Amino acid sequence: MTAPRIALLGTGLMGAPMTRRLLGAGFAVTVWNRTRSKAEPLAADGAAVADAAADAVRGADVVITMLENGPIVGEVLFGAAGAAAAMTPGAVVLDMSSIPPPTAREHALRLSVLGLRHVDAPVSGGTRGAAEGTLAIMAGGAEETIAELAPVFAPLGRALRVGPSGSGQLAKLANQAIVGITIGAVSEALLLAASGGADPAAVREAIRGGFAESRILAEHGQRMIERDFLPGGQVRVHVKDLDTALAAASDGGVTLPLLSAVRDLFVALRDDGGAAYDHSALLIQLERMSGKRLGPGPDRLPG
């Protein structure tokens, strides 16, 4: 079977390393980004760089979108960018952006009218997972289409179908709820330890491997200890995801008080200059509230 031709739209923090993974696996990849300068370095890795989204997708078998939000995905596919209209019937839009579930379902319907297939497959694992090919990929859509995409998923991470269209987005919202709440829990736990005179770095090591172990404790806890808040996952993006999760909860008739509380903390951090910080910088907001600081070292911040 001939390897599918891939177009990837959106070469930001996640899209660029994902493109390199696909190129390394031998796929022919054409890339496009609204700011062309962000896509141009990928030419050195073997990607073709298109001037327009419609040019990038023309002739592609799989079009991956890794864009910031639902309105941008909609505009690129159906608006002036004209990507969907330029695609070959039978091709697949593999939307790996994080967007609201109803928007994903709407896109699937609109694409089907054009003879195109759709899979919503947002990811978790951050820039490190994108670079290492260890992303968790949550896929919603037709079983046969997701199975057909297995060779495309393989260089990127582990993909699992979680249900019909929109289900991938629901899984991502569940992921973001766990991540956000756990970042808050780790921040509070380390502040608690430090406030009583314990060494927070040693406490983190001591509790690892027990019931409190998590990737958040391992990686984001280390960021907090080192005060390294250069962005992987940005605060402003996490706020967007938590707002979407709370809207989905309202639609589903469930109340999520922990998620609501941590969302408000992230919003306060965003509005106080932390929009571009890594989401582990929620620690900073909690430090401001408590008047105590986790260690004396300087903060590493974007900009």
Residues 45, 77 share a domain = yes
Domain enclosing residue 212, as ranges? 170-290
pLDDT in tens, 87-126: 999 999 999 999 999 999 999 999 999 999 999 999 998 8
Q: Among all residues, which ones are annotated catalytic?
A: 172
How much is the pLDDT for 119?
98
Q: Is the dihedral of CA 7, 13, 16, 20 positive or negative?
A: negative
pLDDT by 10-residue block (mean), the chain, 303 residues: 90 96 98 96 98 97 95 96 96 96 97 98 92 97 98 98 97 96 98 96 97 96 97 92 95 97 98 97 97 92 92
pLDDT in tens, 13-52: 899 999 999 999 999 999 999 999 999 999 999 999 999 9
How much is the pLDDT for 192?
97
Q: Decide if 53 contacts 82 (C-beta within 8 A).
A: yes
CA-wise closest residue to 11 among 84, 76, 102, 79: 76
Q: How many CB atoms lie within 10 A of CB 2?
A: 5
* Domain C-terminal end among 117, 144, 164: 164
Q: Is 207 part of any domain? A: yes
Residues 140, 98 share a domain = yes
* CATH number, domain containing residue 92: 3.40.50.720
Residues 34, 150 share a domain = yes
Give the chain's domain count: 2
Residues 185, 151 share a domain = no
The kind and range of the H/E element at 160 are strand 157-163
Q: Is 232 part of any domain? A: yes
For the chain, what's the residue count?
303
Residues 156, 11 share a domain = yes
b/e map 162-180, b = 16+ CB within 10 Å: beebbbbbbbbbebbbebb
* Domain C-terminal end among 164, 182, 203: 164
Residues 226, 98 share a domain = no
Residues 13, 143 share a domain = yes
